[in-house]
Structure 1
Amino acid sequence: MNRSIEAMWKEGFINEPNLAAPKINALYNLKSQNIVDKLQSMFALNIKALIIGSIIMMIMMSLIGAPFLGLYICCLLIPLVIIAKKELAKSTSLSKGQSSYDYLLNFDHWLKSSINTYAKYYRLFYPLFFIGMVTQALVSKAGGKIISLIMQKFPTDIVLLGIPYYLIIIITMLLLLVIKYSDALYRLDLNIVYGRQFKKLDELIADMKTLKS
């Protein structure tokens, strides 16, 4: 195995220009279409999941006696659905009258731009979601009982809206952490769902770039 893979590839191109090159081009054209179709299908499925999830959330929250929290979460999810539909429409409108390599580059450019668009909203979504969950916990009967037990164990005269000051400080610190790491939380969630496909896309672009050069 003294010869490198790159050398064998080049030799193949030289010896069989009319046979190997067209087959390789066809193979990468197929791979390009498959990866794009796969990602677009996943994005479309995500939109449906958001819509169905918001409805289920509303029903569940109503059943456990927190209809306003369910409505609040639905209101937070609606902008995500709108953003998702707009971004998906942008991806499907990309011109396919170009080489697979150029199309993949344009798709990758759109993907990065789309991720940045989502990230901007998630920086707002996560803190608002946290505030909604904490508010519901504090005003619920169970939350009231927990606060009473905490105040019995750690009594204080500094109370705001029935909440001890130290609990407000803890909640505020947690909120600041959520605000600080909202972007990181979104990227983590994104990587869990789409990480494999994004990696395949990057590898395919890299391979095509190498062959092109």
Structure 2
Amino acid sequence: MTKSIETIWKNGFVNEPSLTAPKINNLYDRKSQNIVDKLRNMFSQNLKAIVLGSIFVLIMMSINGLPFLGIYLFCLMLPLMFIAKRELNKSVNLSKGQSSYDYIMNFNNWLNSSMAAYAQYYKVFYPLLFIGLAVQGIVSNDGARLIAQLLEALPTGIIILGLPYYLLIGLVTVTLIVARFAEALYRLDLNIVYGRQFKKLAELIADMEELRK
């Protein structure tokens, strides 16, 4: 049975005769390529999920009588499609004609840059998502009834954009909170999906840097 790269990697350091520079370099090359290929494949699947998910949301919202919300959410997803496609192309263009250490470090640098690009957009995406959902809720029949009940329980003559001032203040406050923690929320979601592979990448880099000392 063909041994996995992880098994070969471990055995290479158990058997002393295996500790030759060409064999170790080959193990590094294969392990580096294995991790990079796995992550790149996951990113590619994520792009497909964004595209299909956006179309699905648009269709379902339209079917359920919420076409404007569907279009709004679709437009929010468009920049994610662009970022995902752009970043994936950058990863494909990384040169493989270099040492395994340089290759994996270049990939890691690209990965950090890619995550930073996503994080910048999510700082806008999450607040706008909340605003869109809140506006849809307000203009709905249930939203109108809720506002009427609020005005009955907490009457006020200060109405801004058709809303009692305290409700508007609450919405603005929640939007600011969402914006403040948007990047942390994105990092949490990222770790749930890619955390295992990120850990393997970090361990590989640590091993390679230790042997370079």
Provide the TM-score with structure 2 as the length reference: 0.89
Q: Give CA-to-partner distance per residue, 1:121-150, whole Å, 9 cap, x none.
A: 111111111111111111111111111122
Partner of 1:20: 19
CA distance in 2, matches of 1:37, 1:119: 23
Instruction: Report the alpha carbon displacement of residue 161 of structure 1 after superposing the two structures with TM.
Output: 2.9
Tell me the secondary structure at the aligned position of residue 98 of structure 1.
coil
CA distance in 2, matches of 1:198, 1:164: 47
Partner of 1:81: 81
Partner of 1:3: none
Q: Give CA-to-partner distance per residue, 1:144-169, whole Å, 9 cap, x none.
A: 11111222222222122331111111
CA distance in 1, matches of 2:144, 2:67: 18
RMSD value, Cα: 1.7
Q: Give CA-to-partner distance per residue, 1:27-73, whole Å, 9 cap, x none.
A: 22221111000000010001000000001111121122211011011
CA distance in 2, matches of 1:178, 1:10: 50
Aligned pair count? 200
Which ranges of structure 2 fall in alignment gaps of 5 or more residues? Answer: 1-12
Instruction: Report the alpha carbon displacement of residue 182 of structure 1 after superposing the two structures with TM.
Output: 1.4
Partner of 2:119: 119
**Partner AA of 1:133 in structure 2:** L
**Partner AA of 2:43 in structure 1:** F
Report sequence identity in percent: 56
CA distance in 2, matches of 1:176, 1:97: 47
Instruction: Report the alpha carbon displacement of residue 24 of structure 1 after superposing the two structures with TM.
Output: 2.9
Partner of 2:32: 32
Instruction: Report the alpha carbon displacement of residue 26 of structure 1 after superposing the two structures with TM.
Output: 2.3
Partner of 2:143: 143
Runs of 4+ in 1 over 4 A off after TM superposition: none
Partner of 1:4: none
Partner of 2:167: 167
Q: Give CA-to-partner distance per residue, 1:80-115, whole Å, 9 cap, x none.
A: 111111111001101100111110000001111111
Q: How does 1:48-197 map to 2 (within 5 A)?
A: 48-197=48-197
Which ranges of structure 1 fall in alignment gaps of 5 or more residues? Answer: 1-8
Tell me the secondary structure at the aligned position of residue 103 of structure 1.
helix
**Partner AA of 2:61 in structure 1:** M
**Partner AA of 2:155 in structure 1:** P
Of 70-79 and 142-151, the range deviating more from structure 2: 142-151
CA distance in 1, matches of 2:141, 2:162: 13
Partner of 2:7: none
CA distance in 2, matches of 1:197, 1:212: 23
- Against the structure 1 CA distance between its residues 52 and 10, is the aligned structure 2 distance closer, same or farther, given a 3 Å change threshold? closer
**Partner AA of 2:73 in structure 1:** I
**Partner AA of 1:82 in structure 2:** F
CA distance in 2, matches of 1:51, 1:124: 19
- Against the structure 1 CA distance between its residues 97 and 140, is the aligned structure 2 distance closer, same or farther, given a 3 Å change threshold? same
